[in-house]
Amino acid sequence: MSLRLQLAKVFLRYVGKRFLMKETDPARMNARLSSLARTFRTPALARYARSSMGEAELPVLWATTGGQAQNGVILFLHGGGYIAGTPEIYKEMLASLAGSLGCEAAIPEYRMPPDHPFPTAFDDAVTCYLELLEKGYAPDRIILGGDSAGGGLMLALLSHICVRDLPRPVCAFALSPWTDLTLSGESFTKNQHTEDFLPASRIRDSRKMYLDGAAADDPRASPLFAEFPNCPPVLLHAGGQEILLDDTLRMQDHLLGFGTEVDCRVWPDTPHVWHLMQGRLPEADEALQDIVRFAQTHLT
Amino acid sequence: MSLRLQLAKVFLRYVGKRFLMKETDPARMNARLSSLARTFRTPALARYARSSMGEAELPVLWATTGGQAQNGVILFLHGGGYIAGTPEIYKEMLASLAGSLGCEAAIPEYRMPPDHPFPTAFDDAVTCYLELLEKGYAPDRIILGGDSAGGGLMLALLSHICVRDLPRPVCAFALSPWTDLTLSGESFTKNQHTEDFLPASRIRDSRKMYLDGAAADDPRASPLFAEFPNCPPVLLHAGGQEILLDDTLRMQDHLLGFGTEVDCRVWPDTPHVWHLMQGRLPEADEALQDIVRFAQTHLT
């Protein structure tokens, strides 16, 4: 464990986690997350652009580095418990990742509660994927990605693509994904004290706000209960002390049951979605490089 | 799945698995495995050497490619159900792997039943590791590896190193490892029909010959029940249809419980230790490249 990671963990636990324990308002959460995001490292030659997708004109933030982005697109669904988070917070990480692959990343601002509870976020994710196909992106040049709640949302989209037999993306990656809104994972209780960032209470709240009465085991909300026929390769990353660790490990088992090629990598000490600290933490850079390695294997 | 893999699977199932179902004699098994090994691809510039280790003067086969082997050593424990298998069968794969890392590989001929049942193989593995240290290899330049029974043996050695707090190797990899001689994995029964190569009956036989009355859950025989304090990073590979799949997945869980950094990759269709078909199967080359990538991350 690097010294930087040790410092980051102390900061997350005593500042981030304590803040999240008290803060229940999504707008104030976003303000704090956005101010945290200002410490993220901007990769060299980062380029951003904005467009919109679908009838609802969802804002989409496009990110990459350098001049060439000929290798395809990463459709990335951001985290934030389905109630917070913005594409803006993720733009540096995605610019870095997409640039390394010679791709561009599209980060849609899917709609959220209170105005748009479940299943709007899911419907928006499907809309964005279909629009990429319509725009002429070859499916074997589309990579799906997501983190935390966005990782679960991405896997729900992936299941939908497989079940409806839509053109499949080339591969997918999920970072510390939240795959089970029934919260039945053993780590959800067992790791409450080792978890550096996410308070269990906040997860229960955001589940309630998002589902708004819908069933927690709906496969569009909890891809752990979804079907994945002929699923493309999936990469899963998690930290070994996260309360969501079992959401990754059980997802691995579940995908293997459908004959999916699964690469699951667990870092023993890293906090929830540490990838965001790219350029600052060696463990974050190592994890991003692992995504690049995985995607490159399948893009070629 | 490549066409070559499909052909290899048909061959293994209708020739390899049928042969193993009938053949109970380790010497005849070895003869057949050695004749199969003659079809393995010899990597360019392969170099082999022979020495011995320990008081028992265990023969050791050294393998690499090219001229330079400055980056360290892979101590590789070969498979064969603890009753068959030879370093000779593994020399091409290890030459390829070690050469790509600028290392050399040491493949000891550990002793086996009927003359030397459990725990001789384990004791020999410990002897070889200690001798590498005595010869002056820096532990952070030693990589442990093993496949099938040898993967279990390697993990048992790794546990011994961690528990005794001996100088730890830099990392370890296990290919389709057999980690549980109690045979309690669900896949052991569930995957009997999808398994391409290993008949369950032959595994039960070799367990009996090896243990010779010792307890199947002895941690030196079944590392799934061993302790791994402060364990270096471990890479696990398996095929999704193997009867030993759960020996990999449960080992992942077990190692994570000790805070180990674990990278677990499951290919949906590959047969038991398909890595041996390097240079012939794209899936084998991809898997070897994954070991190189993993080891390079930790060697640097």
Q: Residues with Cβ < 8 Å from A50, sequence gap 6 or more?
A: A59, A60, A61, A62
Q: Assign residue A109 a region: left if phi > 0, alpha if psi is -120 to 50, beta otherwise?
A: beta
Mean pLDDT of chain B: 95
- Looking at residue A50, what is its pLDDT? 97
- Looking at residue B24, what is its pLDDT? 87
Residue B32: band (very low, low, confident or very high) from pLDDT cuts 50, 70, 90: confident
Nearest CA in chain A to B241: A259
Residue B34, burial from CB neighbour count under 10 angstroms (0-12, 13-18, 19+): middle
Tokens describing residue A141 = 């040049």
Can you tell me the distance from the alpha carbon of A270 to that of B137, in angstroms, rounded to the nearest whole number?
31
Residue B67 has pLDDT above 80, yes or no: no
Q: Which residues of B touch A253 (CB under 8 A)?
A: 249
Tokens describing residue B160 = 């011994």
- To the query of whether residue B242 is one of the catalytic residues in this protein, the response is yes
The complex's ipTM?
0.71
Measured between CB atoms, which of A240, A253, A265 is closest to B263?
A: A265
Contact between chains at B268 and A256 (C-beta distance less than 8 A):
yes
Handedness of CA B254, B259, B265, B271 (dihedral sign): negative
**Residue from A9, A37, A56 nearest A94 by CA:** A37
Cα of B294 to nearest chain A Cα, Å = 10
pLDDT top residue among A285 and B69 = A285
Contact between chains at B256 and A268 (C-beta distance less than 8 A):
yes
Can you tell me the distance from the alpha carbon of B128 to that of B60, in angstroms, rounded to the nearest whole number?
9
The position carrying tokens 């390697």 is B154
The C-alpha R_g of chain A, in whole angstroms, comes to: 17
- Looking at residue B59, what is its pLDDT? 97
Q: Which residues of B touch A259 (CB under 8 A)?
A: 240-241, 268-269
Can you tell me the distance from the alpha carbon of A55 to that of A127, in angstroms, rounded to the nearest whole number?
9
Cα of A236 to nearest chain B Cα, Å = 10
A294 — contact with chain B (CB < 8 Å)?
A: no
B286 — contact with chain A (CB < 8 Å)?
A: yes
Pairing of strands B58-65, B46-53: antiparallel
Nearest CA in chain B to A1: B261
- Looking at residue B68, what is its pLDDT? 72
Can you tell me the distance from the alpha carbon of B87 to that of B78, in angstroms, rounded to the nearest whole number?
7
Residue B14: band (very low, low, confident or very high) from pLDDT cuts 50, 70, 90: confident
Residue B174 has pLDDT above 90, yes or no: yes
Contact between chains at A240 and B259 (C-beta distance less than 8 A):
yes
Can you tell me the distance from the alpha carbon of A9 to that of A274, in angstroms, rounded to the nearest whole number?
10
Q: Which residues of A touch B249 (CB under 8 A)?
A: 252-253, 256
Measured between CB atoms, which of A245, A259, A286 is closest to B240?
A: A259
- Looking at residue A252, what is its pLDDT? 97
- Looking at residue A38, what is its pLDDT? 86
Positions of chain A with pLDDT under 70: none
Which residues partner with B239 through β-bridges? B267
Handedness of CA B77, B81, B86, B88 (dihedral sign): negative
- Looking at residue B200, what is its pLDDT? 93
Q: What is the pLDDT of residues A37-78, one digit of tens each?
A: 888 999 989 999 999 999 999 999 999 998 777 889 999 999
Nearest CA in chain B to A264: B264
- Looking at residue A196, what is its pLDDT? 93
B133 — contact with chain A (CB < 8 Å)?
A: no
Catalytic member of B88, B242, B254, B283:
B242
- Looking at residue A14, what is its pLDDT? 84
Residue B144 has pLDDT above 90, yes or no: yes
Measured between CB atoms, which of B252, B253, B286 is closest to A297?
A: B286
Percent of chain B clearing pLDDT 90 (strictly above): 84
Nearest CA in chain A to B256: A240
Contact between chains at A240 and B253 (C-beta distance less than 8 A):
no
- DSSP line for chain B: --HHHHHHHHHIIIIIIHHHHH---HHHHHHHHHHHHTTSPPPTTEEEEEEEETTTTEEEEEEEESS---S-EEEEE--STTTS--HHHHHHHHHHHHHHHT-EEEEE----TTTS-TTHHHHHHHHHHHHHHHTT--GGGEEEEEETHHHHHHHHHHHHHHHTTPPPPSEEEEES----TT---HHHHHTTTT-SS--HHHHHHHHHHHHTTS-TT-TTT-GGGS--TTPPPEEEEEETT-TTHHHHHHHHHHHHHTT--EEEEEESS--TTGGGGTTT-HHHHHHHHHHHHHHHHHH-
**Which of 236-275 (B) contact A at CB < 8 A?**
240-241, 245, 249, 252-253, 256, 259-269
Which amino acid is located at B67 in the chain?
G
Torsion of CA A294, A235, A274, A246, to 10 degrees: -160
- To the query of whether residue A242 is one of the catalytic residues in this protein, the response is yes
Contact between chains at A259 and B269 (C-beta distance less than 8 A):
yes
Cα of A253 to nearest chain B Cα, Å = 8
Residue B69: band (very low, low, confident or very high) from pLDDT cuts 50, 70, 90: confident
- Looking at residue B38, what is its pLDDT? 86
B190 — contact with chain A (CB < 8 Å)?
A: no
Rounded to an integer, the average pLDDT of B288-300 is 93
The 3-class SS string of chain A reads: CCHHHHHHHHHHHHHHHHHHHHCCCHHHHHHHHHHHHCCCCCCCCEEEEEEEECCCCEEEEEEEECCCCCCCEEEEECCCCCCCCCHHHHHHHHHHHHHHHCCEEEEECCCCCCCCCCCHHHHHHHHHHHHHHHCCCCHHHEEEEEECHHHHHHHHHHHHHHHCCCCCCCEEEEECCCCCCCCCCHHHHHCCCCCCCCCHHHHHHHHHHHHCCCCCCCCCCCHHHCCCCCCCCEEEEEECCCCCHHHHHHHHHHHHHCCCCEEEEEECCCCCCHHHHCCCCHHHHHHHHHHHHHHHHHHC
Can you tell me the distance from the alpha carbon of B66 to that of B88, in angstroms, rounded to the nearest whole number?
19
- Looking at residue B92, what is its pLDDT? 96
Residue B150: band (very low, low, confident or very high) from pLDDT cuts 50, 70, 90: very high
Question: For residue A10, how many other CB atoms are within 10 A of its CB?
Answer: 11
Contact between chains at A267 and B261 (C-beta distance less than 8 A):
yes
- To the query of whether residue A2 is one of the catalytic residues in this protein, the response is no
Q: What is the pLDDT of residues B109-119, one digit of tens each?
A: 999 999 999 99
Percent of chain B clearing pLDDT 70 (strictly above): 100
